Structure 1
Amino acid sequence: MNIIESLKWRYAVKKFNTDKHVSEKQLQTLKEAFNLTATSYGLQPLKLIIVSNKSIQKELVAHSWNQPQVLEASHLLVICVPKEYTINEVEKYFELVKQIRNTPDTILEPFKKFLKADISSKSQEELFLWNKNQAYLALGNLLTVCASEKIDSCPMEGFIPEKYDEVLELNKLNLTATLVLPIGFRAEDDYMKDLAKVRKPLTETIVEIS
């Protein structure tokens, strides 16, 4: 299946097959895909929480507008961003650059100075919104990789972040839940399974300037 066929195959699953589970190999692919997601300046201000504990998934249903996919899914992926973001993350990033690329400080210092000044000039609210935008990049990447791997999914914004933070004890990690992605395999009786995908024609969504 090529990538366009895979994207046509994908839809937001309304009912998962509770007897089928994502394999460890498939899960590893999703972990690596998440880690390879493009982010602003490569800072990766994101964490992925992977939940496969059915008791916890069941508890989270009530905090997800009672959407049953949260429990039915093989795994529940929760994309999180820091509650507080500081220039310490910039320091850690450049240490990693030095470690991996062996880039001299003389080359890194101007960019490092710029990033630290840029982040220091922003409020925590501005930094949160900036980081939240990165979470959407990760979600889009995961959706595409899921489709490519024939893993079903259902992206969700409809949940109560504060309750997720409480249940998953994310405050201890300086994290807050931003987006939720149940993954697994579609049930044969999911009413959405065989419906035609509804999309505008390319002439209405694409503008070419030459």
Structure 2
Amino acid sequence: MNPAEILTALNWRYATKVFDPTRKIPADTWAALEESLILTPSSYGLQPWKFIVVQDQELREQLVGHSWRQRQVADCSHLVVMAVKKAYNMDDADSFIARMVETRGGSADALAGFRKMISGTHAQGYMTTEWAKMQAYIALGQFMTACALLAIDTCPMEGFVAAKYDELLGLTAQGMTTAVLCPAGYRHPDDRYAGLPKVRFGKEAMIEHR
């Protein structure tokens, strides 16, 4: 894509308020979007998350009641719940290091320095639930951009009761919690927000060159 096409896609996207429940994202498009989630960068590459794709309609209707009555979670094509680990530990880090060895070759011993760096950060108390949630927002941004480039509508959502989501999705038992939601699908033609101009501060106020 050229720069103009990227900006056109980003100007086209908006936080969709009303989805068309009759339209579903094609399987091949959705497969690419799932891969965009997997390819999301994260601190040290540790990926302290899990992406739950909720398509069961009965479950999604239950979730509406725990989402400030926002219908997007039920009417979208695919609901992505971005969940994170409540407590990241060195066992998790070791699993990632094992995956590095599996993918790139070499040995865990050769990555001892890398493990020590992660261990030092962990010992200082930085790898909290809040840290993991910040990582999830990187995934949210990447997913929304990938969707926009494929002309798929999204709506980032923080208006939900995390404890209820955790309960209904079985996340509590996994030591995880819901960080943010992102319904994806196609805008309804009656969504009046689709045609509104974006309200953004100008470049001169938001970007500084030194």
TM-score by length of 1: 0.94
Aligned equivalents of 1:81 and 1:185: distance in 2? 27
Match of 1:172 in 2: 173
**Hey, which bits of structure 1, 4+ residues long, moved more than 2 A?**
103-107
2:86–2:128 Cα contact (<8 Å) kept: no
- Amino acid of the structure 2 residue aligned with 1:20: R
**Secondary structure, in 3 states, of the residue corresponding to 1:192?**
helix
Aligned equivalents of 1:171 and 1:89: distance in 2? 17
Aligned equivalents of 1:152 and 1:105: distance in 2? 42
Match of 1:162 in 2: 163
Cα offsets for 1:182-201 (capped at 9, x unmatched) = 11100001011111111111
Aligned equivalents of 1:114 and 1:26: distance in 2? 38
Question: Which has the higher mean CA deviation after the structures are superposed, 152-161 or 106-115?
Answer: 106-115
Match of 1:127 in 2: 128
2:54–2:60 Cα contact (<8 Å) kept: yes
Alpha carbons of structure 1 residues 52 and 106: separation in structure 2 relative to 1, 3 Å: closer
Aligned equivalents of 2:176 and 2:32: distance in 1? 23
**Secondary structure, in 3 states, of the residue corresponding to 1:12?**
coil
Cα offsets for 1:102-123 (capped at 9, x unmatched) = 1344531111122123213327
2:18–2:191 Cα contact (<8 Å) kept: yes
State whether structure 2 residue 113 is matched by structure 1 residue 110.
Answer: yes
* Runs of 5+ unmatched residues, structure 1: none
Cα offsets for 1:66-119 (capped at 9, x unmatched) = 111111111110000012221001111111111111134453111112212321
1:86–1:120 Cα contact (<8 Å) kept: no
Aligned equivalents of 1:82 and 1:172: distance in 2? 11
- Amino acid of the structure 1 residue aligned with 2:164: K
Identity across aligned pairs (percent)? Answer: 37
Match of 2:77 in 1: 74
TM-score by length of 2: 0.94
Aligned equivalents of 2:31 and 2:100: distance in 1? 24
Pairs within 5 Å for 1:52-91: 52-91=55-94
Aligned equivalents of 1:181 and 1:107: distance in 2? 39
Match of 1:9 in 2: 12
1:87–1:120 Cα contact (<8 Å) kept: no
1:34–1:138 Cα contact (<8 Å) kept: yes
* Runs of 5+ unmatched residues, structure 2: none
Match of 1:98 in 2: 101
Aligned equivalents of 1:103 and 1:121: distance in 2? 29
Aligned equivalents of 2:122 and 2:137: distance in 1? 20
Aligned equivalents of 1:205 and 1:50: distance in 2? 35
CA RMSD of aligned residues (A): 1.4
Aligned equivalents of 1:113 and 1:90: distance in 2? 10
Alpha carbons of structure 1 residues 106 and 87: separation in structure 2 relative to 1, 3 Å: closer
Q: Report how many residues are paired.
A: 207
